[in-house]
Amino acid sequence: MTLFGGGSSERQRSKRSFAIDSSAITEAPASAGVTSRAPISAAMQRTLMQKPRHAGIFDAIHRLDTQMDASARQNLIAWVQDQYVAEYGDIPIGFLAKCFLGPPYIDHRLDLVRSIVEHFTPSDTVPSPFDRARSLARHSAYEFVEVYSSGRLIAVRADGMTEILPEGK
């Protein structure tokens, strides 16, 4: 089972040359965590956030929804958080995406803060602030939607390209 995936997006991602070393992630030290970055300007932050997401991010996010022990999940989350700080200057609180488990599930979230994977049916209420990403997550143009504590949503396409949505909209 994967969190986000399937079909042509798998083929598009396979064309990228970046890959993560799975053993390095699951064997990360307990002290692994988010690295800090010097404060940056709003313009620089936007530039970083617009950078395409690399295949390592896709691979790690897919793995987070698989069956794994709590320690491995925490190490993988720490790696994802480190990547977001280093590459994009901010860390999402989580992701929302279309669910491929089939009926009755239509979408699901991965909460990086609480290490929660939750699947939703059409009648379920998605918790805030993830609820704003629900219609985008179901759209075939996007692989997943990053949700930030500021209210920012960033829709990510299968090729890694991003679309930043206005905060609070």
Instruction: Report the range out of 4-18, 49-63, 144-158 with the highest average pLDDT.
Output: 144-158
Cis peptide before 129 (omega within 30 of 0): yes
DSSP conformation class of 65: T
Mean pLDDT estimate for the chain: 79
pLDDT of residue 40: 77
DSSP β-ladder status, 116-120 and 162-165: unpaired
Q: Tell me the pTM.
A: 0.76
Domain ranges of the chain: 7-27+40-165
The 3 state secondary structure assigned to 74-117 is: HHHHHHHHHHHHHHHCCCCCEEEEECCCCCCCCEEEEECCCCEE
Strand partners, 96: 109, 145
Contact call for residues 72 and 14 (beta carbons, < 8 A) = no
Report pLDDT digits (tens) over 104-159: 989 989 889 888 888 899 999 999 999 999 999 999 999 999 999 989 999 999 99
